[in-house]
Homo-oligomer: A and B are copies of this chain.
Amino acid sequence: MKKFGIVDTTFARFDMGRSVINELESLGTGFETIRYTVPGIKDIPVAAKKLIEEQGCDIIVACGMPGAQPIDKISAQVASMGIMQVQLATNKHIIEVFVHEDEAKNLSELSFLADRRSREHALNAFNLVFNPDALRKNAGKGLRQGFEDVGSTEEPKSGIRH
């Protein structure tokens, strides 16, 4: 029985962990999910490490929503480096689902983006564990999570800025 860990924050303005779990449950069975909520993104890496080492998780989906200020960008970078270190210390994937507040034009787009990116990365995590061939078939295809895929250089998606 595989275990998916989901780490999320009270800082984020959208319940991304709920979207991840909801999507995972729609994709299949034969696994369980464990959720761990922390205050902010810099608290995520140790939570992920504890889920892997103390709870036996096989993979983590780490959800966060950095703010738009320069200081938030630094926090996001520190958090990403921590997430990297946990992966290398445990040999487990952690799919980072970060939505920056300034990626969206307004709150409604922010909701849409956070939900969709969470779901598309839930699928990535699912495939890494259960179906790596699905990823291999899409190598170099210009996939994106949240916004539209841009496509490959040979088959760019129409209507997308290149």
- A residues sitting closer than 8 Å to B (CB atoms) are 8-18, 35-39, 42-43, 45-47, 49-50, 53-54, 71, 73-89, 91-96, 100, 106-108, 110-111, 114, 121, 124, 128, 132, 135-136, 138-145, 150-154, 156, 162
Contact = CB atoms under 8 A, between A and B. Distances in A.
Contacts of A100: 71
Contacts of A47: 93
List the number of copies, as a whole number: 5
Given A10-B139, A13-B150, 16 more contacts: A9-B140, A13-B151, A14-B153, A15-B140, A37-B138, A42-B83, A43-B93, A45-B87, A49-B87, A78-B81, A81-B81, A81-B84, A84-B85, A86-B88, A107-B153, A107-B162
B12 A80 contact: no
B144 A11 contact: yes
Contacts of A15: 139-140, 152
B93 A46 contact: yes
A156 B15 CA distance: 13
Contact of A140 (B16, B93, B135, B154): B16
A78 B76 CA distance: 11
Contact of A35 (B50, B71, B136): B136
